[in-house]
Structure 1
Amino acid sequence: MVIKNLENKIKLVLIICSLFLTGCVIISISSIWTARTMVNDAHQKVYVLDGNVPILVNRSTMEETLDVEAKSHVEMFHQFFFTLAPDDKYIKYTTEKAMYLVDETGLAQYNTLKEKGFYSNIMGTSAVFSIFCDSIKFNKDNMEFTYYGRQRIERRTSILMRELVTAGQLKRVPRTDNNPHGLLITNWRTLLNKDIEQKTKNAY
C-alpha cells in the first residue's frame, strides 16, 4: 500500500514537472517571438528631428519606390549631361557626374560629341545649355524608360529651343555616393533632337 502511494506521488510529481517545463518552454518561445516582432517593427520606424520635434516616418523597400527613384535617376542624368556652360571645368565636372549614372553607351555619346568639337564650340560661342524635363515614361516590368524634354541654348545673339527624346533601360546596381538611387542607365540612345523655336535677342 505504501509502495503504491509512493508510485502515485512520483507520477504526480512527474506530471507537475512536465506541465511546468512545458509552460516554461511555451512562455520562453512566446517571449522571444514577441521581442523579435517588436524589434522588427522598431526597425521599420525611423524618427526624423524637425528642430527638437521627433517625427515618425516609415521605411519603405525599393520595390515600393522604384517608379519614383527610376524617374529621379533618369532626370538627374539628363540634368548633368545636358546642362552645360562655357567653362571647361564645369563641363568636365557635370559629365563625370553623369557617367556614374550610365553605362558605356553614355560615354560613347560623350566621346562622339567631343570628337566633333561640340564642347569646344560651347566655349567658343559662350553658349549656355539648359534642360527642362516635360515627362518620363517608365515601364516597371521591363525597366525601360523614355525621356521627353526641351533644351534651351542661349548664345550671344539668339535663344534656341530644341525638343529632346531619349530612351534606354535601367538595371540595379549597389548604391554609392555617386549613384544614390542604385540604378544604371543602359542602352541609352537619342530618339529625337530637333529645333522647335529660335528667337533673336535684342541688341542694346
Structure 2
Amino acid sequence: MNANFNFRYLRNIQSSHQLNRLVVALVIICSAGLIGWNQWLTHQTVEQSREKIYTVDPSGKTIMLAYAQDQNANRPAEAKDHVKTFLKLFFNQEPDEKAIDENMKQAAYLGDESITRHYYDLREKGFYTKLLQGNTIEKVLVDSVNVDMTRSPYYCTINARIMLVRATNITFRRLKADCSLIDARRTDNNPHGFLIERFRVTDNSDIETINRDQYNGYR
C-alpha cells in the first residue's frame, strides 16, 4: 500500500511540475505577445504622428492639423520641378553680368559639371557678351519635362523655347535637351534632393524672329 501511495504521490508531483511548466510557458508566450503588440502599437502611433503637421493660422490663435504626404509619393513632381528650376536659372538672363554669374552659381548646385561645361561653351562662343552688348533679355518657355522614374538614374527629356528679347525684335529658338537625374541629399541650395547629370542640348535652332510691335504675349 505504501508503494501504491508513493507511486501516486510521485505521479501527482510529476503532474504538478508539468502543470507549472505549462503555466510558465503560457505566461511567457502571453508576455511576449503583449510586448510585441505594444511595440507594434507604439510604431503605428509614431508613424501616424509623423503624418500629422500642426500649423498656426496667420492670426496666431488657431492651431490647424494637416497631414503630411509620403515623401516618395511626390518624387516625380519634385523631379520635374527640379529640372524646371534649373532651366529658369540657366536660361532666364538679364543683361547684367553679376546677375548672370549669380544665376549660374545657383544652377551649378542642381547638377554636375555638364551644366558648367555648357555655360563655358556658350561663354566662349560670345553668347553672354552679345546679351550684354545688345541689352538682350533671355527667357525660357518650358513646354514639357518628362522624367522616367522607373529606374535610376532617371532619364529626362526637355522641350522648351527660348525668347531673346531685343529693343526692336524677338527671336524664338527651339530648345530640346536631355539629362539624367540621381537622388541626392536635400540642402538649402538643392531642396528637391536631385542632381542633374549629363545635361545635353540636342537642338537649339531658330524658329522665327518677329518685330516687337507684333508680339502680344507668350505663345
2:9 is the alignment partner of 1:4: yes
How many angstroms does 1:101 deviate by? 1.1
Amino acid at match of 2:122: L
Structure 2 residue aligned with 1:153: 164
Aligned CA RMSD, in angstroms, stands at 2.5
Q: Secondary structure at the match of 2:205?
A: strand
Q: Secondary structure at the match of 1:41?
A: helix
Distance in 2 between residues matched to 1:147 and 1:59, nearest whole Å: 27
Distance in 2 between residues matched to 1:26 and 1:187, nearest whole Å: 53
Which structure has the larger Rg? 2
Q: Given the alignment, which residue of 69, 84, 89 partners 1:59?
A: 69
Q: What does residue range 1-204 of structure 1 map to in structure 2 within 5 Å? A: 4=9, 7=13, 11=17, 14=20, 18=24, 19-43=26-50, 45-49=51-55, 51=57, 52-62=62-72, 64-142=73-151, 143-202=154-213
Equivalenced residue count is 200
Range with greater deviation from structure 2 (158-167 or 78-87):
158-167
How many angstroms does 1:148 deviate by? 0.7
* 1:119–1:47 distance in 2 versus 1, CA, 3 Å: same
How many angstroms does 1:86 deviate by? 0.8
Distance in 2 between residues matched to 1:68 and 1:53, nearest whole Å: 29
Unaligned runs of 5+ in 1: none
User: Identity, % of aligned pairs?
Assistant: 26
Amino acid at match of 2:99: Y
How many angstroms does 1:69 deviate by? 1.5
* 1:20–1:88 distance in 2 versus 1, CA, 3 Å: same
1:22-59 Cα distance to aligned partner (Å, 9 max, x none): 4334333322332222222322x121415024232133
Distance in 1 between residues matched to 2:69 and 2:40, nearest whole Å: 22
Q: Secondary structure at the match of 1:68?
A: helix
* 1:155–1:53 distance in 2 versus 1, CA, 3 Å: same
* 1:131–1:49 distance in 2 versus 1, CA, 3 Å: same
* 1:183–1:12 distance in 2 versus 1, CA, 3 Å: closer
Unaligned runs of 5+ in 2: 214-219
* 1:190–1:22 distance in 2 versus 1, CA, 3 Å: closer
How many angstroms does 1:7 deviate by? 3.9
* 1:134–1:48 distance in 2 versus 1, CA, 3 Å: farther
How many angstroms does 1:14 deviate by? 2.9
How many angstroms does 1:13 deviate by? 8.0
1:53-107 Cα distance to aligned partner (Å, 9 max, x none): 4232133133x32321111111111100000001111101111111111211111
* 1:36–1:82 distance in 2 versus 1, CA, 3 Å: same
**Equivalent pair of 1:46/1:59 in contact (CA under 8 Å):** no
Amino acid at match of 1:118: F
